[in-house]
Amino acid sequence: MPAIILSTLNARYFHSALGLRYLFANLGELQTEAAIHEFIITQRPLDIAETLLAEQPRIIGFGVYIWNVEQTAQVIALIKQVRPEILIVLGGPEVSHEWEEQPIVRLADYLITGQADLAFAQLCRQWLNSNPPLEKMLTSEPPLLESLASPYPFYHEEDITHRLIYVEASRGCPFRCEFCLSALDKTAWPFPVDLFLSEMDQLYQRGVRHFKFVDRTFNLNSKIGTQILDFFLERLDERLFLHFELIPDHLPESLKTRIVQFSPGTLQFEIGVQTFNSAVQALISRRQDNGKTEENLHWLRQNTPAHLHADLIVGLPGETLDSFAAGFNRLIALDPQEIQVGILKRLRGAPISRHSAAFNLRFNPHPPYNLLCSALLDFATVRRLERFARYWDLIGNSGRFHHSRPLLLGDDPFGRFMVLSDWLFVTTGQTHQLALERLFDLLYRGLVETLTIAEPVAREALTLDFYQSGMKSRPAFLRSDQTTFKIDKAAKHPAHPTRQARHDCSGA
């Protein structure tokens, strides 16, 4: 039975907790007395508590994030009712700031704020040696990265086979975008690149082919970025998949020459555009060259097979509905495969809160702390935009509606899709649990009834998308249709799977 358990609740089964593996790797002599137990947020807190208690641990450390804080608090409350003597230690971004009034912190024995890679082990040693710290809240300064033991050997075979493998070549961020917790970092620190690549080679030799980099600024240091891309180019095979987050206005020639050498389906770039409004950028301390951003996105789309996932945020201080719409249309013109529309969140500790009074920003008091309304966007408008984002993800981002998507856009993509979004909600009352067959039928009706697309044009585009989707059951709009279209074989079998089949962009 392990004396120490490291645990967290992941958002989904195929996510894995890199942070727990860092803690485990750096336990030193205590490692033989420790174990990692990961759960998912859909499991019942009572069942999670039962599993952990059956191990009879003396210490349990929980990683706490915005997506699991409420469920984790329930698990801890249950454990403390049954075994109040078990030491509960918290860490993670959700409890590293504004922790004083958090119910989960009151339940715990200790809280480590900041990067706890080494601090957790030190706390365990002190407590097990009957010399516990007197203070409940412990602050951990960022460790020297070269001093950390590697977490990567502690991805096990089940992780390699069934889960996303998260890696990091650097920590921190030099930018000050106020909606992000990384605004609190002083700079970005790279891991020793030769050692990092050696660890990547070991993962590769063990069969890992999907590498999701969590670096906030992968392309900040072009020399290191070039070395990493060269490493993977030497190991290029049909199963390799790499996810990087890119600074949108920084793409040196050394990186370009490498990116073009990768095969289709290998590279995904998450590109945080967030807003094209220069006044808003200045207000939130975001440095971004919009012209260079457009130039780089255009170059990536036209010259490389990389999958581009671009982000925009609804509700930033100073952003009106019209200026957001203009930014969305500007991004659509650059044609990234995905545009992720997210609602502004007030992350604990993020400097965005300094604008709350001036812009009357009202946030959900419960996770995920999303914007409810502001001086510029009333509650009803924010709700409409949330539905817009959800329907856009189902239709515009899914990769299933390649032929139909252009019919949605016209000369005002945002305005047209907002019309469709409003109609979809009035018609269904739903934003989730829409079966794909029903979604095809709804989109057929929406194209014809709300966007005034000629019925034969809408039918032909959706028919092509239906055959490409691989669906076996025919949507209603096709069942009564006697027209036979000549379908190219390539249309039935797309060269690359849709986004959902290929990978997931969610956080872990």
- Dihedral class, residue 112 (left if φ above 0, else alpha if ψ from -120 to 50, else beta): beta
H helix or E strand, kind and range, residue 72: helix 69-82
Tell me the C-alpha distance between 100 and 320, whole Å: 34
Per the structure, the count of domains in the chain is: 3
> For the chain, first and last CA: distance in Å?
28
Q: What pLDDT score was predicted for residue 482? A: 52
Check whether residue 73 and residue 31 sit in a common domain. Answer: yes
Check whether residue 120 and residue 197 sit in a common domain. Answer: no
Nearest to 332, CA basis, from 306, 297, 302, 305 = 297
Predicted structure pTM score: 0.92
Nearest to 341, CA basis, from 384, 370, 309, 312 = 312
Q: What pLDDT score was predicted for residue 480? A: 66
Residue 382 lies in a domain: no
Check whether residue 423 and residue 365 sit in a common domain. Answer: no
Residue 395 lies in a domain: no
Check whether residue 365 and residue 430 sit in a common domain. Answer: no
Residue 159 lies in a domain: no
User: How many whole angstroms from its chain centre is CA 76?
Assistant: 26
Distances (CA, A) of 406 to 115, 312, 396, 505: 46, 20, 9, 24
The residue segments making up the domain with residue 490 are 403-508
Nearest to 9, CA basis, from 74, 78, 89 = 74
- SS3 call for 65: coil
Tell me the C-alpha distance between 162 and 112, whole Å: 31
Q: What pLDDT score was predicted for residue 501? A: 39
DSSP string, 261-272: TSPTTSEEEEEE
Check whether residue 501 and residue 369 sit in a common domain. Answer: no
Residue 39 lies in a domain: yes
Beta bridge partners of 362: 373
CB 344 within 8 A of CB 352: yes
Q: What pLDDT score was predicted for residue 471? A: 84
DSSP string, 180-221: SGGGG-SSEEEPPHHHHHHHHHHHHHTT--EEEE--S-TTSS
Residue 283 lies in a domain: yes
Residue 390 lies in a domain: no
Check whether residue 297 and residue 422 sit in a common domain. Answer: no
Residue indicated by tokens 């301390």: 285
Check whether residue 367 and residue 469 sit in a common domain. Answer: no
Residue indicated by tokens 């001086």: 375
Check whether residue 10 and residue 84 sit in a common domain. Answer: yes
Residue 158 lies in a domain: no
Check whether residue 295 and residue 370 sit in a common domain. Answer: yes
Instruction: Identify whether 368 is preceded by a cis peptide bond (ω within 30 of 0).
Output: yes
Check whether residue 93 and residue 196 sit in a common domain. Answer: no
Check whether residue 178 and residue 290 sit in a common domain. Answer: yes
Write the CATH number for 344: 3.80.30.20
Mean pLDDT by 10 residues, the chain (508 residues): 96 96 98 98 98 98 98 98 98 96 97 97 97 96 95 97 95 93 89 97 97 92 96 96 95 96 97 97 96 98 97 98 98 97 97 97 97 98 98 96 94 97 98 94 97 96 92 84 50 43 42
Angle in degrees, CA 424, 425, 431, rounded to 5: 100
**Which residues contact residue 490 at a Cβ distance below 8 angstroms, ignoring those fewer than 6 apart?**
none
Given the DSSP bridges, would you call strands 241-246 and 267-274 parallel, antiparallel or unpaired?
A: parallel
In the chain, % helix, strand, coil (3-state, to 5) comes to 45, 15, 40
**Which residues contact residue 100 at a Cβ distance below 8 angstroms, ignoring those fewer than 6 apart?**
none
Nearest to 98, CA basis, from 373, 374, 372, 365 = 365
Interhelix angle 193-205/222-233, nearest 10 degrees: 20
H helix or E strand, kind and range, residue 418: helix 413-428
Q: What pLDDT score was predicted for residue 186? A: 80
Tell me the C-alpha distance between 374 and 155, whole Å: 44
Write the CATH number for 21: 3.40.50.2300
Q: What pLDDT score was predicted for residue 478? A: 86
Q: What pLDDT score was predicted for residue 103? A: 96
Check whether residue 189 and residue 335 sit in a common domain. Answer: yes
- SS3 call for 6: strand
Residue 479 lies in a domain: yes
